[in-house]
Homo-oligomer: A and B are copies of this chain.
């Protein structure tokens, strides 16, 4: 419906200018400050309750949007300010994201271990009707305790305990890091800048008469170019067995084949935020969301697979533990492949319906 904004050659297109950008930035700066206040009130970085988690998520959410808009609409903003702001926002949202990422990764891996053990679904959790359908729950409350591991094999239980130990440690460290970050002068400097942004957006003198369309179009083009370079034909063939092709490769680094997909995930997000500036109030394009969710799942599965492989390198583990971690790694790589298939489906539909 708002495609018109993205086509600079469309004479019927309503011109959206820097005023819209200023409005969008003010809105998300205000959101950021609200989330920050809530975060402090609910225990801040020391809290782990649901409200505190929600507040941290809202903080990251607005930081990403501000940062993304600064990038896409760079020519309309004071360059010095913009260039000093972006890395700080990236640092902040990256730091805040880690704790949640480790928690969600552990949750995903423990759920997969349960599914692979043919165990019953968790009482209050997602019905595990199949890995393909089973996205990790939005909030990770670790419900797999020692008691529930009773029906796992020794290998699966030990693998679960090992992952629990390693990822909980990583999460605790991430929590401390986030705590330090939120108390740092660096953070206070960012918060101050965002507070200023909430009332005063440093636009360039010509911004209010500049059409945002071409800049949003360029963001879209960067996305479609990156997607064109993806192996979508292969991804569209179910069971192409591509994602696991380096499953036993001597290279311990994350699968290099995942890189271009991660890149598209970021570009898709930038494109979505660019559209949000233009389409204020318009509901989000569902197909774009679906494609984005597939890429989130791709990233999560890719990192979970790497965590399983990493855990298998722990010295002196039992062969049964290593075996379970191997099965788990392959299962998550299969999820990577499934996510690519889902993205391909969502994107092709998108292309047909909006072009």
Select one of B118, B155, B248 contacting A152, CB under 8 A.
B248
A153 within 8 A of B: yes
Given contacts A237-B132, A238-B132, A312-B319, A245 and B116 within 8 Å (CB-CB): yes
**A334 to chain B: which residues have CB within 8 Å?**
239, 241, 244, 330, 334
Q: Is the CB of B326 within 8 A of A241?
A: no
- What number of A residues sit within 8 Å (CB to CB) of B? 51
**A107 to chain B: which residues have CB within 8 Å?**
none
The distance from the CB of A313 to the nearest CB of chain B, in whole angstroms, is: 9
Q: Once bound together, how far apart are the Cα atoms of A341 and B341, in whole Å?
A: 15
Q: Is the CB of A327 within 8 A of B238?
A: no
Q: Is the CB of A249 within 8 A of B330?
A: no
Given contacts A132-B241, A246-B118, A250-B153, A327 and B326 within 8 Å (CB-CB): yes
Q: Which of A198-256 contact B (CB under 8 A)?
A: 234, 237-242, 244-251
**A151 to chain B: which residues have CB within 8 Å?**
250
Chain A interface (Cβ < 8 Å from any Cβ of B): 113, 115-118, 130-134, 151-153, 155-156, 234, 237-242, 244-251, 312, 317-331, 334-335, 337-338, 341
28 A–B contacts from the bound complex (CB under 8 Å): A116-B249, A117-B249, A118-B246, A130-B234, A130-B239, A131-B239, A132-B237, A132-B238, A132-B239, A152-B248, A153-B248, A153-B250, A155-B248, A241-B331, A241-B335, A244-B327, A244-B331, A244-B334, A247-B331, A248-B324, A312-B323, A319-B321, A323-B325, A326-B327, A327-B327, A330-B330, A330-B331, A334-B334
